[in-house]
Amino acid sequence: MRVWIAALLACLMAGLGPLALTAAAHPEDELCLPGGGMDPALCRELQELDRAGAVTSRDGLPDVRDVSLDRTPLETAIFYIRIGFEHILPMGVDHILFVLALFFSSRRLKPLIWQVSAFTLAHTATLGLTAAGLIAPPASIVEPLIAFTIAWAALENILFKEPSAWRPALVFGFGLIHGMGFAGAFGDLDLPADIFWPALIGFNVGVEIGQLAVIGMAFAVAVLIRGALKQAGRPDLYRPVLVWPVSLAIGAIGLWWAIERAFLNV
């Protein structure tokens, strides 16, 4: 039985291992290339504007304000759900690790619901404000802070058996920071005004679905390991076998990212 538990844990740690090699969780994509993640209809319109010699913006690219897509707001929102989901799975490595840190912070459902709700409310607010241009935090500050929140949330799982009373408030603050990171990815799409809000709503819904998918997969692994420990008569080993090693790995990755993004990225 112990060998089976160790194998499960090894598989989980192997999945986390490659994440440490991916320090930039928001890579600069060639958005209009196949698989680049940009709305293909928008790409086609921009290419048409470029060929027609349309008025360009200051950076020499076609001005998206001249673009109008033949798509209803509902169709736009549905389309961008996929883009938001893909920003979490598989692209949002840092956000995946933070959600996992939240999941492993408690063995009871109610504290987890409070934390996830606080995180969702916060990142929704700053995603909207940043994407709308009302606030403009620099990525050079936001990205190291996101990494620091990952490390802090994970290491708290080792220090505290249950979340403290102020943990939801802390997670809310962390969510504000993560929302700015989501907005950076959304802003890279450079959308025209007539599809901006439907796309933003769809993107945010996709992000939420991605986060729930991460929690669901973590829950499945946790149930398997809990069941194995219960059969072995050692349910008390859940935290030493799963929570502590996974949280330690997440915390180490978060600390390395924080250092790399703050001091090593030129």
């907005």: which residue's tokens?
183
25 to each of 89, 118, 182, 241, how far by Cα in Å? 11, 22, 11, 28
> What pLDDT does residue 195 have?
84
Which two structure tokens, joined as six digits, stand for 66?
């001249």
58: number of CA atoms within 13 Å, CB side? 0
Domain locations in the chain as residue ranges:
2-10+93-191+207-264
Provide the pLDDT for residue 12.
46
Q: What is the pLDDT of residue 48?
A: 54
Phi/psi at 165 (5° precision): -65, -30
pTM of the predicted protein model: 0.76
pLDDT confidence of residue 143? 94
Q: What is the pLDDT along the chain (266 residues), one digit of tens a residue?
A: 544 444 444 444 444 444 444 434 443 333 454 455 556 655 655 555 455 554 455 455 445 444 556 678 898 899 889 989 998 998 889 999 999 999 998 878 888 888 988 999 999 999 989 988 899 899 999 999 999 999 999 999 998 887 788 889 999 999 999 999 988 888 777 677 778 889 899 999 999 999 999 999 999 999 999 999 999 999 999 999 999 999 999 999 999 999 999 998 75
Residue 165, judged by CB atoms within 10 A of its CB (0-12, 13-18, 19+), counts as exposed
